[in-house]
Structure 1
Amino acid sequence: MPQRRVVTGRSQEPRQRFAEELRLLRAERGVSLRKLAEDVGWDPSQFGKLENGHTLGGPEVVEALDLYYGTPGLLLTLWELAIADPSQFKEQYRRYMRLEAEALSLWHYGGGTVHGLLQAPRYARELLAAGGSSGVELDRQVDARAGRRTVLDKDAAPSFRAILSEAVLRTSMRDAEGWREQLEHLVEMGQRLNVTIQVLPFGRGLHGLMDTAVTFLRMPEGHAVAWAENDLRGELVEEASRVERLHRTYDEVRDLALNPAESLTFIVRMLEEAPCEPST
């Protein structure tokens, strides 16, 4: 008779398990948060938030903790599982998130904001805060948004085409330096082999996606699905005929947009015009 597996009693929820492991490792080392911060080189409050599950932090601090505790790769693996966990997203987005992680290619049109896969950290935080998130919930959503961005960094990453209305690039952030960071990030992403960014300038006329942001996903089985949303609601569209109608409209919008090279030039010009933080 096979031996029964030992049940650790530890959390099976990725985010909680990551925080739990951090607390256990520090307890085994017998150090305070302040001593940990002195040894590793980060603010004590950062480690407190990590151990409470209020934030997941970034890969740099997690790698530093792996080195400090002598757990090569363990914490980074737990962090990757936590940050990619679809349960961090609101219920209506979860199925879409799972499909996004599996897609072979993605096509997007956005008329108001930068797509989540192209958002720099400070842009994501300001956007989510404007939507009403705050405190611990805001930290969680920012972490979840960062997890989404890893889709374009993985091995065999999908190809991604994003068409951005000029309105997206004219709606700057309150944080001037954060806005420059976002524009620089778009330029950097647009130079990747698997990413294509196009800009739809003002003056190209009315079109069928004026009030709708849409993302199409081509799945490994060959079919495509679409996520369409407006100010009030989002919907996962899976019926083939509806996806096809949306895609024809998307193609018409793409034909109106600048080509990729012209679009990058446009974004660089926006970056040159972007305000800088006043010197002190």
Structure 2
Amino acid sequence: MPQRRVVTGRSQEPRQRFAEELRLLRAERGVSLKGLAEELGWDASNFGKMESGRSLGSPEIVEALDQFYGTPGLLLALWELAVGDPSQFKEQYRRYMVLEAEATSLWHYAVSSPPGLLQTAGYAREALSVGWIEGAELEQQVEARVGRRQLLEGDDPPMFRVILSEAVLHTSLRDLRAWREQLEHLAEAADRPNITLQVLPFSAGPHGLMNTSVKFLRLPDGRTVAYTENDLRGELVEENASVELLLRRYDAMRDLALSPAESRKIILRMLEEVPCEPST
């Protein structure tokens, strides 16, 4: 079994450290990228991109590599640090995302945009570019955000409930093709057995979370934590009384939301209203 290395002895940048460890482990094992692909069943280009730092891969690939190299948990821990690195996500998400990967169930309320776990690459790219991110940094952040969708698409995904304010469906992208893809993805997600999607209509009126996007995570130890955010900051809420207050507001708001079936119909109706791009 390869000996675990002290992380601080090498690169201190999480993404580079993860790629470096992958290269070193493969060199020690004496296997080519092609051989690695044959052993694990993924395309060799995936491993090449991960070792060069161009891609982080999915948790499934990383877990398979941990098993192959005999480093249980090491690569996955480095992957989590790389995913939580501020070069890809805002610093306040860091601890939240580690907890998110462990959650047994999740509940979200989205005020004005689809939750990151349901965003397409086109949506993420336009939304992130509004913050004046561009070039390679933009593509890294898009890749990292879209990569989080793996959490809901594995063999045993957690249960995920999301309530979308109707404003989400009316805040379209400038790129109509990307907006159509986002609406189609929401409609498809609403059909999955582990996802419950509801729309809170404008007619519901004021409610206790009308200005606050919030996420709840049920953790393996039975605790529930919350994460609230706006455009400027996010806050991880772990104190029981505060979490309970947010949960009561969420439950009250859920009573005002449309049923999952009605919500999907609204998404499909919005999809029909998106004008087709003229042929060129």
TM above 0.5, yes or no, is yes
Take 1:158 and 1:262, find their aligned partners in 2: how far apart are those partners?
Answer: 23
**Match status 1:234 vs 2:208:** no
**SS of the residue 1:154 aligns to:** coil
Name 2:250's counterpart in structure 1. 250
1:86 aligns with 2:105: no
SS in 2 for 1:203: helix
Is this contact kept in 2: 1:161–1:197, CA < 8 A? yes
Which runs of 5 or more structure 1 residues have no equivalent in the other structure? 30-39, 43-47, 63-72
Paired residue secondary structure (1:206): coil
Q: CA deviation at 1:107?
A: 0.6
- Aligned counterparts of 2:278 and 2:231: Cα–Cα separation in 1: 34
Moved segments of 4+, more than 3 Å: 3-7, 9-15, 17-22, 48-53, 78-84
What is the alpha-carbon distance in structure 2 between the residues aligned to residue 179 and residue 80 of structure 1?
A: 34
| Mapping for residues 1-280 of structure 1, pairs under 5 Å | 5=3, 15-16=15-16, 53=53, 55-56=54-55, 82=79, 85-87=83-85, 88-280=88-280
C-alpha change, 1:80 and 1:235, in structure 2 (3 Å) is closer
Aligned partners of 1:161 and 1:97: how far apart in 2?
17
Q: Which amino acid aligns with 2:234?
A: G
Q: Displacement, 1:11?
A: 5.7
Q: Secondary structure at the match of 1:256?
A: coil
Describe the shift of the 1:150–1:49 C-alpha distance in structure 2 as closer, same or farther (beyond 3 A): closer
Q: Determine the C-alpha separation between the residues in 2 that align with 1:264 and 1:142.
A: 26
User: Greater Rg, structure 1 or structure 2?
Assistant: 1
Alignment size in residue pairs: 247
Distance 1:57-1:86 versus aligned 2 partners, 3 A rule? closer
* Offset at residue 18 of structure 1 (A): 6.7
What are the Cα deviations for residues 19-66 of structure 1, in whole angstroms up to 9, with x where unaligned?
5668x99xx99xxxxxxxxxx9x9xxxxx998864x42878xx9xxxx
Whole-Å separation in 1 of the counterparts to 2:168 and 2:243: 24
> Residue deviations 1:188-223, cap 9 Å, x none?
111110001100111211111111000111111111
- CA distance in structure 2 between the aligned counterparts of 1:231 and 1:6, rounded to whole angstroms: 39
Amino acid corresponding to residue 215 of structure 1 in structure 2? K
8 A contact 1:18–1:79 mirrored in 2: no
* Partners of 1:56 and 1:79 within 8 A in 2: no
Letter in 1 for 2:263: S
In the other structure, the counterpart of 1:67 is none
Measure, in 1, the Cα distance between the counterparts of 2:134 and 2:202: 34
TM-score, normalization: structure 1?
A: 0.76
Query: How far apart are the structure 2 equivalents of 1:265 and 1:58?
Result: 34
Q: Classify 1:4/1:162 alpha carbon distance in 2 versus 1 (closer, same or farther; 3 Å).
A: closer
Distance across 2 between alignment mates of 1:4 and 1:127: 42
Q: In 2, distance between residues paired with 1:156 and 1:12? A: 33
The Cα shift of 1:252 comes to 1.0
SS in 1 for 2:204: coil
CA distance in 1, matches of 2:224, 2:174: 37
| TM-score, normalization by structure 2 | 0.76
Q: Indicate the SS of the match to 2:107.
A: strand
Indicate how the Cα distance of structure 1 residues 265 and 18 shifts in structure 2: closer, same or farther if over 3 A, else same.
same
Letter in 1 for 2:147: G
Superposed CA offset, 1:47-106 (max 9, x none) = x998864x42878xx9xxxxxxxxxx99xxx89975873224332110000011101111
Cα distance in 2 between the residues matched to 1:232 and 1:10: 33
Report the residue type matching 2:151 in the other structure: V
Query: In the superposition, relative to structure 1, how do residues 101 and 51 fare at CA in structure 2: closer, same or farther (>3 Å)?
Result: closer
- Amino acid of the structure 2 residue aligned with 1:254: R
State the partner residue of 1:66.
none
Structure-2 separation of matches of 1:203 and 1:267: 16
Q: Give, in whole Å, the separation in 2 of the partners of 1:86 and 1:57.
A: 11
- CA distance in 2: counterparts of 1:101 and 1:90, whole angstroms: 17
